[in-house]
Amino acid sequence: MAEHWGSLKYNQPLEGGVDSFLGLSDEGRQIAEQYKNLQSGELGIGFALTLAKHLLGRRFPEHSVTIVPADTVLRAGWALTSRDKGHKIKYRYRPQYFAEV
pLDDT in tens, 36-86: 888 998 999 999 999 999 999 999 999 999 999 988 877 766 555 555 555
Assess contact for 65 and 57: CB atoms under 8 A: yes
Query: 53, 65 in Cβ contact below 8 A?
Result: yes
Residues facing residue 67 across a β-bridge: 99
pLDDT category, 12, cuts 50, 70, 90? low
Q: What is the pLDDT of residue 16?
A: 73
Instruction: Indicate the pTM of the whole model.
Output: 0.58
Are 74 and 81 in contact by the 8 Å Cβ rule? The answer is no
H-helix or E-strand containing 69?
A: strand 66-69
